[in-house]
Structure 1
Amino acid sequence: MAQVDGCPITDAMEILGKKWVILIINQLLTGPKRFCQLENEMNISGRLLSERLKDLEAEGLVEKKVYPDIPVRIEYELTVQGKKIEPIIREMYAWSLERKNSKIEEHVPS
């Protein structure tokens, strides 16, 4: 399949293909999270996490909510568009498990 400008798959991969993006979205599928929660759960640098969250906000996939608590509380959550990626992540997960299991079966003596 040739890569073509304006190709929907190419367009999607420009957003989702960046390192950590799918994993960030997967973490947010469980609900809103604070920056430090994401940073700790994913073992990602703060600089890179901040960059990816800004990218996802710009694409309309993640929303940053600021609560006027003391101290100020900031949470990130998926938008409606961001939640639409869940079936893709589920399929990737299933595909990866199936692939891993078939590799194990190939190496098990009969």
Structure 2
Amino acid sequence: MDKIEPANQTLCPVARSELVVGDRWTVLILRELFMRNHRFEEIQAQTGGTPQMIAGRLKSLEADGLVERRRYNERPPRYEYYLTEKGNAFHPVMLALRAWGESWMKSPDEGRAISYTHLSCGGSAGLGPTCESCGVPLEREDLRADLNPAYAEERQQRWEAFKAAR
């Protein structure tokens, strides 16, 4: 029987990608970065991950070139995390996960968690990857996010619970 090659030694792009973004916590961290939450506490509060888990995933994302750290405080040293060009290139994957989740993992009466407005045309962006109003491919920087009030409240409750537990 032939030996199975590790994922990083295959030509399969899915197997190689899974090595970097193939777990729930990494995808949730990327979600928060796409939602412009850059500080460790914000990421931890919204993902529910332990500090060790979030730190480990952020270090891996940084080592893989998807995230860069930027110091915002000298004493004590504190960092914010930003997507790199490689990290931003994951946006269509996030749109696809969102579209699949909205279509298959929720009931229609819950409404969309986030509605995007396509700033170029001013219309509803829909679920992507192209704008449902004008047909142009969606780019992260050209979208305005409006959170469903129930989702905004859910996120606020997570933040409040996180702060209270500290």
Report the TM-score when normalising by structure 1: 0.79
**1:84 match:** 89
Q: Which has the higher helix share?
A: 1
* Cα deviation 1:12-48 (Å, max 9, x = unaligned): 1111102311110110012251111111122110000
Deviation at 1:92?
1.1
Number of residue pairs the alignment of both structures matches: 101
* Cα deviation 1:57-103 (Å, max 9, x = unaligned): 000000011135444331011111101111111111111221236xx
How many angstroms apart in 1 are the aligned matches of 2:56 and 2:75?
Answer: 25
Choose from 70, 73, 79 the match for 2:78.
73
Choose from 28, 34, 38 the match for 1:33.
38
2:104 maps to 1:96: no
How many percent of aligned residue pairs carry the same amino acid? 30
**1:17 match:** 22
**Aligned partners of 2:37 and 2:43 also within 8 Å:** no
Deviation at 1:6?
2.3
Unaligned runs of 5+ in 1: 106-110
2:53 maps to 1:48: yes
Which consecutive aligned stretches of 4+ in structure 1 deviate over 4 angstroms post-superposition?
68-71
Unaligned runs of 5+ in 2: 109-166
45-54 or 22-31, larger mean C-alpha shift: 22-31
Question: How much is the aligned-residue C-alpha RMSD, in angstroms?
Answer: 2.2
**Aligned partners of 1:26 and 1:86 also within 8 Å:** no
